[in-house]
Amino acid sequence: MDNENFDYIDNDVYFDPYKNTYIWASKDKLLMIKYSIGVDLLKKYLDKYPPSVLKGSFDNPTDVVFEDDHEEEIIYFNSNQYIIELDNWNTNEIVLIINGEERTLQNSETDVIAGLMISTNIRSNEVIIKVESEVENYKQLSMEVGVPVDVKLDKDITLEVVGANTDDLSVQVSIDGETKVVNLKQTKTISDYNVKLVNFFVSNIGEDKITIEVLVWPK
């Protein structure tokens, strides 16, 4: 602005007294008020457009790095704001919260959280969350073996768990005639769709019953 560059790395409001200009970032907007205004009027603007912590704006896959638990990063992906928080971290798994939606994840695990497709890289000294893409259409389903389910994503598909192995906690998933084996916490592409086996439940009350939770979204 006026041949000057400004970097926004915190949630401060910038004020240039010589030009009577207030500037701050609010979500995906950059707000500027020129000339002197009353404090009450400025407060109304700030209440409606609160300053954001603006650390990055991306439209391609990017890494978000955490070096300690209970850290929070705010990024903008395709102009949408995502608050990513590492709530807990040990050598085997992490608890990740994105826009209030929580998941417990293991190393090298892929998931869709709050419409954001991410993968994990858990190291001894840092956790790297690779933000892959936004996902508009995704469904998490509770299924039983041998019971097909019609799902509407980018188009109508038929999803069926045609077999399950309680020894290695794997399932055979079929989408529109193509079948693959998917292990617990694993993601595989079946007929142009990503399928993740989220949970595998075995109930021993009465007759043995297997219940499967899968997450599915377009490739």
Task: Read off the pLDDT of residues 28-58 as tens digits, 9 standing for 90 and up.
Answer: 677 888 876 677 778 888 888 887 765 666 7
Counting the structural domains of the chain, the total is: 2
Half-sphere exposure in the Cβ direction for 38 (13 Å, CA): 3
Domain annotation covers residue 39 = no
- Rounded distance, CA 38 to CA 66, Å? 41
Domain annotation covers residue 34 = no
70 with 128, same domain: the answer is: yes
Domain housing 180? 139-218
Domain limit, last residue, from 104, 134, 164:
134
| pLDDT tens digit sequence for 172-209 | 999 988 999 999 999 999 999 999 999 998 887 767 78
Domain limit, last residue, from 103, 134, 165:
134
108 with 74, same domain: the answer is: yes
- pTM tops 0.75: no
CATH number reported for the structural domain that contains residue 174 in this entry: 2.60.98.10
